[in-house]
Structure 1
Amino acid sequence: MLSRFSAVVFLSLASFAPAAQAQDLTEERVQELVLETILENPEIIRQAITILQQREEDAAANAAQATLETQRQLLEGDPNAPVLGNPDGDVTVVEFFDYNCPYCKQAGKAVEELIASDPNVRVVYREWPILSEGSVFASRAALASREQGKYEEFHWELMAQRGRLDEASVLKVAEKVGLDIDQLKADMESPEVEEHISTTNSLAKTLGFGGTPSFIIGDELVPGMIELTAMQQLVEAARSAE
């Protein structure tokens, strides 16, 4: 079987060769032609790599869209995912984030403004702690704070912190918002907390997200930082499409 690279170069060669001749090429002859062509035209390597990259990007995009369609109910309606804004809003924004991500903190301000300015938007949070052990501790603590009805307050306080969050700084914030620390630590080990983070990791992987923050707004997958204006435009586009 031809290697992927050889196959791509073969397709390039075949486009210049007569149909009958191209059909008669053996694998050995293809490899000879590949080598000859590369030696004579080094730029064909760049062309072949570009073709391969485009195919991989197209395949990844198709897979991500398929995941969005098949997993939309989980992404938007998972009862084990925190929801801020209007729980019955007509447009859902899903955010994958890490408390130690500076871009997430910046995007968090835009999300907060979006919630304040749009009474019909709901925001689903997928805690995705990928940057450090401190990130994992912060996410577990935030998810556990739901048992004490403090998620929203705790979330915004964690987002407002400067510098890297670790166990000590997270617990300091927890005390500030009035959480029972002993209960918090116990609830951090709950199956619900573990399941949320595990599901988030799986969804992020199949959606092709490579880092935080990453958003889903309507049918749009938005990896990376997004400003308030662009966020509002995507929300309105999703609203109009319904």
Structure 2
Amino acid sequence: MNVKSLLNFKSFFSKMSNVCCRKNKCSTEGSSCEKKKCCPCRCILKIVLSLLFLSLFNFFFVKFYIKGHGQEIVDAVNASFAKQKEEKMANSKKNASVEYEKLIKDSSVPFIGDKNSNNIIIEIFDYNCGYCKKANDEIRRLFQKRNDVKVLLINAPIMSEASLVAAKASIAVFAKDPEHFDDFHFRLMNHKGQISPQDVYDIAQASTKGRYKAVKDEMESKKTEEAIQASYDILRSLSIQGTPAFIIAGDLIPGFVPAEELLKRLK
């Protein structure tokens, strides 16, 4: 069966589907049966058959078209995906610059390093992420080479429920006991294996001591919930689906980055 035959079938059965039943009259294109009683079942059968053959026509037409233009279709699909990826990357880069300017002015964002430094790295991380722990080692190596760097820490608790507990504790410790935040942060990052909620509470208590009760209360505060939500908003804005990720001078750098690469991107 060729395309011409299929077109003839389509024309024939399209005519069959032109059926109407009104006031006990039944008619089809090119003929009439006004004196006969209308048979709804017959009309419905014709419509069903016409729809069936139209479906078959569309199936064979698409099949023949794809067979003759397969490579063109593949090229068009690949071009569409490439364009979407390019637009997504451009949008993420633009948003990274916006987020960078906003975050470096936000004094509530936890940080490690030189408080007054303008050499700022924004790290997006999860306390239960293995690559984030490796990245933490690189940050410490960076501090050994330069002491004029400030690292803003954006908690992105996407790994587990324990990650969310750790993120809340991180934000709360920084808010209520900033002097001991570095100790708390590095204890969590240096913890071997996956961190449990109890690990978080134990480390928070060991780090903050007399401020532990205030930290626990702050973990469940509205302010902390809003900070967590703001982190999720940043992930969506930058189209980040994994950790770690960095923003330096407004440029988004996804994935693990060694200390040497971080140094190159600083002033």
Partner of 1:104: 132
Aligned match of 1:126 in 119, 139, 154? Answer: 154
- Residues 143 and 151, structure 1, Cα contact 8 Å, conserved in 2: no
Measure the CA separation in 1 of the matches of 2:62 and 2:75.
Answer: 13
Q: Which protein shows a greater Rg? A: 2
Partner of 1:159: 189
Deviations for 1:82-123, whole angstroms, at most 9, x for unmatched residues?
Answer: 122112223210010000000000001111221232122211
Aligned match of 1:189 in 210, 217, 220? Answer: 220
Measure the CA separation in 2 of the matches of 1:178 and 1:186.
Answer: 13
Gaps of 5+ in 2: 1-59
Within-5 A mapping of 1:20-59: 36-59=64-87
1:229 equivalenced with 2:257 (yes/no): no
- Decide whether aligned partners of structure 1 residues 169 and 69 sit closer, same or farther in structure 2, where only a CA change above 3 A counts: closer
- Residues 163 and 195, structure 2, Cα contact 8 Å, conserved in 1: yes
Within-5 A mapping of 1:171-210: 171-179=201-209, 180-210=211-241
Shift of 1:33: 9.3
Q: Kindly, what percent of the aligned residue pairs are identical?
A: 26
- Decide whether aligned partners of structure 1 residues 122 and 137 sit closer, same or farther in structure 2, where only a CA change above 3 A counts: same
1:148 equivalenced with 2:170 (yes/no): no
CA RMSD in angstroms, aligned pairs only = 2.1
Measure the CA separation in 2 of the matches of 1:103 and 1:70.
Answer: 26
Aligned partner letter, 2:90: N
- Residues 98 and 250, structure 2, Cα contact 8 Å, conserved in 1: no
Aligned partner letter, 1:167: P
TM-score by length of 1: 0.78
Deviations for 1:185-238, whole angstroms, at most 9, x for unmatched residues?
Answer: 111012332222111111121112111101011132111111111111122xxx
Query: SS at the partner of 2:104?
Result: helix
